[in-house]
Amino acid sequence: MTLKLHTIIASTRPSRVGPTVANWFHEHAVAHGKFDATLVDLADFKLPVFDEPKHPRLGQYEHEHTKRWSASVKAADAFVFVSPEYNYAPPPSLLNALTYLAAEWNYKPLGIVSYGGISGGLRSAQVTRSIVTTLKMMPIPEGVPVPNLAQFISKDGIFTPNDPMKQGATLMLDELHKWTGALKALRG
Ligand SMILES: Cc1cc2nc3c(=O)[nH]c(=O)nc-3n(C[C@H](O)[C@H](O)[C@H](O)COP(=O)(O)O)c2cc1C
């Protein structure tokens, strides 16, 4: 059975650049061929600031937006977050989306494509890795940082990666695939 990878666009703000980076990565994942790859836009779920009355670990969701988000995350075997860095940290949209759920994330591996200024979003990615362990995810060390993002985006808004980014994406997908198969056994 082919393992399911969801590439999640973590930024939800108007005029965001996240989708152009995520489109590239998603196409790279499709061409890589080991996963059944789906591109997921967090903005489509229109999640308000966390508003469920019960703890997510109970899985008793009151709101339709949570039920939709839960079904999406539950369907995936592995994730790649395409995430910017805001104030040396992940964007609040991503932290909020993580907070909404619990079991849906458990025992699933995560790779991160990070972007920003000179740091390539590495600080943000490392904070995300720390947070997701509480949700029993396995954040893998391989990642794809995109430093000074603007230089890789054309006037018409298309992101074109350099060779290290392409090689890094392939390596990350290879490693993610190993973890995904191993962790699926834990989920029964
Ligand atoms: C509130 C805010 C804080 C930011 N903080 C950082 C930062 O700490 N480090 C960095 O490299 N870039 C930072 N940036 C620049 C973002 O990386 C850049 O605007 C990027 O395009 C954001 O991704 P998005 O357009 O997909 O939302 C910040 C941008 C915003 C809007």
CATH number of the domain that 95 lies in?
3.40.50.360
86 lines ligand 1 (CB under 6 A): yes
Given ligand 1 and candidates 15, 23, 85, 114, which is best to mutate, with the most ligand atoms within 8 Å of its CB? 85
Beta strands in the chain (DSSP E): 3-9, 35-41, 78-84, 109-115, 138-146
Task: Give CA–CA dist 84/82, Å, rounded.
Answer: 7
Whole-model pTM over 0.95: yes
For the segment 88-147, what is each residue's pLDDT rounded down to a tens digit? Answer: 999 999 999 999 999 999 999 999 999 999 999 999 999 999 999 999 999 999 999 999
Q: Say how many domains are in the chain.
A: 1
DSSP state of 171: H
Is the beta carbon of 68 within 6 A of some atom in ligand 1?
no
At residue 160, the pLDDT reads 97
Domain containing 22 equals 3-187
Please tell me if the CB atom of residue 116 comes closer than 6 angstroms to any atom of ligand 1: yes
Q: Are 180 and 109 in contact (CB under 8 A)?
A: yes
C-alpha–C-alpha distance, residues 132 and 109, integer Å:
10
